[in-house]
Amino acid sequence: MEVGEEIRSFKVRAGRLGPASRDAMVRLWPVHGVTPPYDALVRDRPLVLEIGSGMGEATAAMAVTDPGSDVLAVEVHPAGVAALLRRIEEHGLTNVRVVQDDAVAVLGALPERSLAEARLFFPDPWPKSRHAKRRLLRPSFAALLATRLADGGRLHLATDWPGYVEHALEVLADDWDTRVVDRPAHRPVTRFERQGLDAGRPSTDVYASPRRLADWST
Ligand SMILES: C[S@@+](CC[C@H](N)C(=O)[O-])C[C@H]1O[C@@H](n2cnc3c(N)ncnc32)[C@H](O)[C@@H]1O
């Protein structure tokens, strides 16, 4: 374990859930929520891990258009978990499961080579240099993720923070093949992304595959 490994990429936010979120947790968490142990999460379809799903806007929209996918959405923020549960109900989704935990722990608990894709959409940028060590995409995380991706698997990163692209390409430089790609049509523009656009920060999408797996045919 490297120095600083225990540093978390998120801050635990205090605050009570509103009535709609509490209702979602009571009714929907038992149906769509997943608790440890996480080792039996892999089913017969390609598993997609969304890391830090936020309010679940992209999660739900992408699950609607790709019903054959098996999505595991991981988020630490309770209000985000509740929001995604409500979207799952609203769209009648059966291909999304929700985990409320640190994505690093979840990733570590998944079997090796179990993921078809890992999605990291708009990770917290931690823009101040003294906080940069909190960025989720750091060498130890990349090394762990590389072991969890299946053959042909890839990381899809999207960010509106220019420094994050540079940071990611640097972290991945040694052991991954990376491609900055045109905005894929299957990734919806979310409220979060719209705010970045309005602030003059267009998004960048990066596909990355550990070198041992690189296959750009899809
Ligand atoms: C900037 S938001 C983006 C949310 C969403 N992906 C989107 O595009 O709207 C980043 C999210 O990642 C979550 N997050 C950060 N570190 C995490 C971790 N280690 N495990 C799970 N969620 C995490 C935060 O709680 C936050 O909701």
The mean pLDDT value of the chain amounts to 92
pLDDT in tens, 97-148: 999 999 999 999 999 999 999 999 999 999 888 888 999 999 999 999 999 9
DSSP 92: T
pTM of the model: 0.93
Backbone angles phi, psi at 150, to 5 degrees: -80, 170
More confident residue, 44 or 71: 71
Specify the pLDDT at position 110: 94
Q: Domain for residue 165, yes or no? A: yes
Q: Domain for residue 111, yes or no? A: yes
Question: Does the C-beta of 160 come closer than 6 Å to ligand 1?
Answer: no
Distance 134 CA to ligand 1 centre (A): 12
* Contact call for residues 60 and 80 (beta carbons, < 8 A): no
pLDDT in tens, 11-20: 877 778 999 9
Distance 119 CA to ligand 1 centre (A): 11
DSSP 132: G
Q: Domain for residue 96, yes or no? A: yes
| Residue 56 belongs to domain with CATH number | 3.40.50.150
* Contact call for residues 97 and 33 (beta carbons, < 8 A): yes
Specify the pLDDT at position 216: 52
Residue 101 is a catalytic residue: no
pLDDT in tens, 166-193: 999 999 999 999 999 999 999 999 998 9
Question: Does the C-beta of 122 come closer than 6 Å to ligand 1?
Answer: yes
Parent domain of 84 = 34-210
The domain total for the chain is 1
Q: Are strands 70-74 and 96-99 parallel, antiparallel or unpaired?
A: parallel
- Choosing from 23, 101, 102, 124, which is the catalytic residue? 124
Q: Domain for residue 152, yes or no? A: yes
